[in-house]
Structure 1
Amino acid sequence: MDDFREHLMKAISLRKRIRDTRTSTGIGWDIIEQDYVLTWVLFGISRLEKLQETLIFKGGTALKKCYFGNYRFSQDLDFSVRGDYPCGDDLLELMIKACDIATQSAEDVAFTCKRYPEKSPHPEEQEAFDIRARLPWHKDFNTSVKVEVTTHEIILLEPEKRVILHEYGEHLNASIFVYKVEEIIAEKIRAILQFAKKLHERGWGRSRVRDYYDLWRILQEYGQQIDTASLPLLVKKKCESKNVMLHSVEDLFQDRLMEYLNEWDHWLTPIVPDVPERDVVIKELKQQLYKIFESDNEGVRVNRTNVGAA
């Protein structure tokens, strides 16, 4: 009975903390649960030396979990690799172990891991995993998050080992290797250019609304902490590795790209408290990027026409 009461009290406490986060942010319950689960998956990865040393955390979730804390929510974890990284069945086995560690360490939360069922083989041999969690009030493993491991990606800057930020009244005492924020910015710029290329070649592509939001938010709020002088060369090298190029800041604001920003609220409302106006974001982001890429630097040409135009 004492054990039952202890488990019950822990479940009530955790549910209250998640409810408090939902109330303070206005974000949906499912997204908050996913955010909680993502942190514990990171914790499990951080406890396995082979994964911690070879998987390098990146992307928008890394901005929230290792840099800024108060940031947009996410539903997946993205990694690049370095060194003698595990792959195939070896990587799956380690991811399962990471979930076992999370199960042993979290408050009555259980985790499972299996391969994500891709519709077709990824062109760059990316590996993906479907991780599911059963929180104390769940009857089954209802909360699902995705882990993606990119094996064909150059890492240009030495990763930083940073503390994993957790906002639910639990002290994790865990850290993980993560991209420097400048490299995250460079990859987001390249992702937009790759999206533009797909639009021209295929007429479709996955929306990059979140990349525009991330670039704006980072540069607006944390610009003073970033080595912006390094960005032109970083972007050039990142783009060359994927056969795209930034000729001008205007490449990021082509008409076809802007048409896809009509989905602004659809992509951001579920994960961003107080979604900013699209036109304001685009105007301010363009101004910030012109400041960074304002001269002929490492092959990036800047056309000052329409600076600040939305």
Structure 2
Amino acid sequence: MIPILEIKEKARTLGVPPSTIERDYAQNWLLVYLSEISMALKGGTGIRKVYFKDYRFSDDLDFTLIQHYDSEVLKGKIEQSIINAREDIGIAFKDDISFIPTRSGHRAVIYFSIIPSSRTSLIKIDLDLTEPENEEILLPVENKPIFHNYSDKIESNVTAYSLEEIMAEKIRSLFQRVRPRDLYDVSQIADFIDRSQVKSILEQKCRKKEVIIDSEIFRDRKERFRASWDTSLSHQMHALPDFEGAYNRVLQEIEYYKKLELITN
């Protein structure tokens, strides 16, 4: 494990809380030890861990399972991964995890600490695991090296969504809930994706969740996105981009796909 001083210095340099760095570091090693489970990393964490190494930090690890597991078998695999990471790396992961059924699959709640602290609460990482029948992976997954911006080295790969599939699900998410991180992610990766690939899967992705892409609905949600922009993202990066610029960039993307009449009632 890296020295605590390295965590504190990186937090100071990047302008984020030390707990953000602790979580990022622990996530990386969890990815190494979870790699034997047949699943694909997705979401904002996927963007940071395998596509853009200086991307915003993320609180959770989101996966879609590639094959179905009995819930007790899956829980056991996660618990063994945590034990191995603790013994090999020295991160103080707690033995007991909460393993909770969700509408789309399972959530494993993991607690740990690295920096000794007077705080009463441990740091939490949620593993959200979507069952394959609840989210079909439509584009080929990629085997990508894990970015690890720390002095100890990770030479390991993780199975991840393509950037285009992440984009399609992020666009859909804008109409499922109001989470500023989805708005941020769409605005940041829009210039790095192949629109034709996103176009090829977006309708099917939305139909699966009964979501309609509608720029008027998005406009109606603007102030709700704005209201939680700073509070939701400030611990994940030092300098937030301008909300108006991000919102308008995302609106352009929504209007592009809507104009193609990909999503209909």
Q: What TM-score does the superposition give when structure 1 sets the normalisation length?
A: 0.77
Q: Secondary structure at the match of 1:105?
A: helix
Q: Summarize deviations over 1:99-150 as a string: whole Å, max 9, x none.
A: 12211321x32323544375xx5333x2111212232646999322111101
Cα distance in 1 for partners of 2:108, 2:96 equals 6
- What percentage of aligned pairs have identical amino acids? 26
Q: Which residue is equivalent to 1:281?
A: 246
Q: Which residue is equivalent to 1:40?
A: 29
Q: Secondary structure at the match of 1:254?
A: helix
| Higher deviation after alignment, 236-245 or 258-267 | 258-267
Structure 2: gaps of 5 or more residues = none
Q: Report the Cα offset of residue 60 of structure 1.
A: 0.4
Asked if 2 retains the 8 angstrom alpha-carbon contact of 1:186 and 1:238, the reply is yes
Q: Which amino acid aligns with 2:197?
A: S
Q: Report the Cα offset of residue 30 of structure 1.
A: 1.2
Q: Summarize deviations over 1:257-306 as a string: whole Å, max 9, x none.
A: 5334211111111112201121121123323444x4374354469xxxxx
Q: Which residue is equivalent to 1:164?
A: 146
Q: Whose relative contact order is higher, 1 or 2, with alpha carbons under 8 Å and at least 6 apart?
A: 2
Correspondent of 1:258 among 199, 220, 223: 223
Q: What TM-score does the superposition give when structure 2 sets the normalisation length?
A: 0.89
Q: Which amino acid aligns with 2:207?
A: E
Correspondent of 2:50 among 66, 80, 95: 66
Cα distance in 2 for partners of 1:258, 1:232 equals 28
Asked if 2 retains the 8 angstrom alpha-carbon contact of 1:133 and 1:141, the reply is no
Asked if 1 retains the 8 angstrom alpha-carbon contact of 2:106 and 2:128, the reply is yes
Asked if 1 retains the 8 angstrom alpha-carbon contact of 2:82 and 2:93, the reply is yes
Correspondent of 1:177 among 138, 149, 159: 159
Cα distance in 2 for partners of 1:62, 1:113 equals 26
Q: Cα 1:103–1:115, aligned 2, differ >3 Å: closer, same or farther?
A: closer
Q: Which amino acid aligns with 1:193?
A: F
Q: Cα 1:170–1:76, aligned 2, differ >3 Å: closer, same or farther?
A: same
Q: Report the Cα offset of residue 253 of structure 1.
A: 2.1
Q: How many residues align?
A: 262
Q: Which amino acid aligns with 1:283?
A: N
Asked if 2 retains the 8 angstrom alpha-carbon contact of 1:56 and 1:82, the reply is yes
Q: CA RMSD in A?
A: 2.4
Q: Cα 1:117–1:98, aligned 2, differ >3 Å: closer, same or farther?
A: closer
Cα distance in 1 for partners of 2:79, 2:121 equals 15
Q: Which amino acid aligns with 2:195?
A: T
Q: Cα 1:233–1:143, aligned 2, differ >3 Å: closer, same or farther?
A: same
Q: Which amino acid aligns with 1:296?
A: L
Cα distance in 1 for partners of 2:126, 2:9 equals 25
Q: Which residue is equivalent to 1:15?
A: 4
Q: Cα 1:280–1:141, aligned 2, differ >3 Å: closer, same or farther?
A: closer
2:182 maps to 1:211? yes
Q: Report the Cα offset of residue 25 of structure 1.
A: 0.9
Structure 1: gaps of 5 or more residues = 1-9, 196-206, 302-310
The structure number with the bigger radius of gyration is: 1
